[in-house]
Amino acid sequence: MSFTVEAQRVCFHSLDLDCGITLSDVEVAYETYGTLNADRSNAILLLHAFSGDAHAAGVSADGQPGWWANMAGPGLGFDTDRYFVICSNILGGCRGTTGPGSINPVTGSAYGMSFPVITISDMVRLQKKLIDHLGIEKLLAVAGGSMGGMQVLEWTVAYPDSVAAAIPLAATARHSAQQIAFNEVGRQAIMADPDWNEGDYYSGNPPARGLAVARMVGHITYMSDASMRQKFGRRLRDKSVFGFDFSVDFEVESYLRYRGSQFVSRFDANSYLYITKAMDYFDLAAGKSSLAGAFDRTKARFLVLSFTSDWLYPTYQSLEIVSALRSRNVNVAFCELPSNYGHDAFLVDVKEQTEMVRGFLNSVYEDLYS
Amino acid sequence: MSFTVEAQRVCFHSLDLDCGITLSDVEVAYETYGTLNADRSNAILLLHAFSGDAHAAGVSADGQPGWWANMAGPGLGFDTDRYFVICSNILGGCRGTTGPGSINPVTGSAYGMSFPVITISDMVRLQKKLIDHLGIEKLLAVAGGSMGGMQVLEWTVAYPDSVAAAIPLAATARHSAQQIAFNEVGRQAIMADPDWNEGDYYSGNPPARGLAVARMVGHITYMSDASMRQKFGRRLRDKSVFGFDFSVDFEVESYLRYRGSQFVSRFDANSYLYITKAMDYFDLAAGKSSLAGAFDRTKARFLVLSFTSDWLYPTYQSLEIVSALRSRNVNVAFCELPSNYGHDAFLVDVKEQTEMVRGFLNSVYEDLYS
């Protein structure tokens, strides 16, 4: 069966935000894979993590594989032969959906820091508009890892009637002080760069050095001590003895510098600020009696996965979700999968995850529609 | 008994470095506490961690407590009523000992990046000169945490006849890829700051923003997820609702920004570069058959301590040291102490540590000299 990546855009007239502001002319970049069935019951919404985009599956026109190309596609965990899979770039992003780098229709120039501070729930509100636009009343599943998992949780709470199943991976119901701290370092690195210029750099040089440093910090937190040891150890880069200078000595230094500078070419520094802020603000229990109370109206079934070596979103955070769900008698399956890959595991170490997701989606679909 | 802090300096004519260069006119800032006994058998050398200095114990003339004031003093773990305790600022530092901010006697201006890249073994070679200068043939003990612990290990290998006992705390025999990575992020943050100016900033503005970001990253790694949750949680700073802007929302942000900017006033950015490089280069097993082989000539007894929540220098790294020592039949005691304080535990959570150190020093001294 042929596999087509449908890259599309849609523009919504307005979007109400948690901060009280209404944003107008909000564009959404999204892709779809597979075919929506006649009763529109086979739609799955994938929700990307911090630096992801709408290109989840397959290969784009310019040859780039999707960020979850190993999980979504024909015969894969999110089987595009069976399901209609959707992925959109998040609000505040820089990959096609309206964000701080977009043109403010009122002023005719880029928003920059005049872009309103957004939340995970704002992102999900925009996704709901997209799903409505596609004529889908109820999603078979929402699924995503990391910040994608936060959106999954928000979906089940904000739109309990619109989601049959939820798959949050390596996620949390609220950012811890340590998670906020790592994000704050990234923001400070960007804002310390003179080229950031209070966010007004779209007609000049972007804050490349600050953004690269922010990304380097992020990369360390996405890996594990063990995976870094396996991948780099203390191996030197293109030398057999120390250089006794401040050029690159170790492979791991070279890797981080490369990933940092590479990131600059595909990501907007202001989006970094806004999206990390949205993650830090996220607290599913805020305004509720408890985390369990947040799930009072939730009807979805859950598959919650965490990974042994993920120290950025540790298993105890997934267990808090599971515990809260169970206390509201929500149907939830949980597994901590063994992996050395740290937080990145949900993106790279997908063998067991694939089996879990496939089985879960099968059973949800059969129970509902067979 | 009165407790006097003796802050002193001594200048050595030259110091041979691992990189092949000989440094001339090398000054050392050091402090001593307590009294050297007649047979010079009660001297203990404390070795400071990355951002420490010679001021380990008591209160300085300007009212500052020493970095180990809770461990070294009358009646404390390192009992200055019994022992003569010495602490010197490390080579490459910025707190009195020669480093990149010192005046190069040849040029008459600050070294900056013309300062040679130094190693842990260079630091220890300079400390040996100080001990010789003080007329001490054999130290009762060398003790220190983190990078101080690396110096402890180096002492027992480089000068096996000069050390009776060794106490490396929260230490490692070599930096892992993850440890190198965190240091590299700090270096890149500094070097990304235009005020760094290739290290030539001593007559202008220091790279304050870059150094602050570097310190913020460091601070996160010194704490634990649990201690940050206890200390900050998701508490807001001077507000009851989110600001929906990029000023400070959370207490943890405020704390990190404060600690970052505070650090700038007492630490030199170039020292940050040189000292982290020395830590990354450190590998006790380099040039040896194995880590155990490094201890072939070691005669000291060891007390090795690690802390449960220390994820920057995890217990497995202490166990590698213990295992190597035992394979050479070295007398070694090991304990993993329970603590929530992360890597900082050796500085702050000193109750159990005190008992361990006191008992260990007692028994070493009595076995040798009673």
List chain B pLDDT tens, one digit each, 370 residues.
447 777 899 999 999 999 999 999 999 999 999 999 999 999 999 999 999 999 999 998 889 999 999 999 999 999 999 999 999 999 999 999 999 999 999 999 999 999 999 999 999 999 999 999 999 999 999 999 999 999 999 999 999 999 999 999 999 999 999 999 999 999 999 999 999 999 999 999 999 999 999 999 999 999 999 999 999 999 999 999 999 999 999 999 999 999 999 999 999 999 999 999 999 999 999 999 999 999 999 999 999 999 999 999 999 999 999 999 999 999 999 999 999 999 999 999 999 999 999 999 999 999 998 8
Residue A228 touches chain B, beta carbons under 8 Å = yes
Rounded Cα gap, residues B111 and B103, in angstroms:
6
- Cβ atoms of A118 and A274 within 8 Å: the answer is yes
Can you read off the two tokens belonging to residue B41? 């058998």
| Chain B: closest CA distance from residue A322 (Å) | 20
Residue A116 touches chain B, beta carbons under 8 Å = yes
Residue A242 touches chain B, beta carbons under 8 Å = yes
Of B174, B178, B216, the CB nearest to A188: B216
Catalogue all structural domains in chain A, each as residue range(s) with its CATH number. 6-175+284-369 (3.40.50.1820), 179-277 (1.10.1740.110)
Rounded Cα gap, residues B55 and B62, in angstroms:
11
Whether A343 is catalytic is yes
Q: Is the pLDDT of residue A338 over 80?
A: yes
- Cβ atoms of B28 and B88 within 8 Å: the answer is yes
Whether B343 is catalytic is yes
Q: How far is CA A336 from CA A124, A172, A300, A325, A365, in A?
A: 26, 14, 20, 17, 24
Instruction: Tell me if A180 and B260 make a contact (CB, 8 A cut-off).
Output: no
| Chain A: closest CA distance from residue B213 (Å) | 6
Residue B184 touches chain A, beta carbons under 8 Å = yes
**Chain B residues with CB inside 8 Å of A240's CB?**
none
Q: Which residue has the tokens 């520094």?
A: A269
Mean pLDDT (whole number) for A187-199: 98
pTM of the model as a whole: 0.97
Q: Is the pLDDT of residue A29 over 90?
A: yes
Of A178, A245, A250, the CB nearest to B117: A245
**Chain A residues with CB inside 8 Å of B180's CB?**
234, 250, 252-253
- Cβ atoms of B291 and B319 within 8 Å: the answer is no
How big is the CA angle at A77 (ends A73 and A80), to the nearest 5 degrees? 35
Instruction: Tell me if B250 and A177 make a contact (CB, 8 A cut-off).
Output: yes
Residue A269 touches chain B, beta carbons under 8 Å = no
| Chain B: closest CA distance from residue A47 (Å) | 23
Rounded Cα gap, residues A126 and A92, in angstroms:
11
**Chain A residues with CB inside 8 Å of B311's CB?**
225, 311
Listed in sequence order, the residues at least 6 apart from B198 whose beta carbon sits closer than 8 Å to its beta carbon are B112, B113
Mean pLDDT (whole number) for A282-294: 96
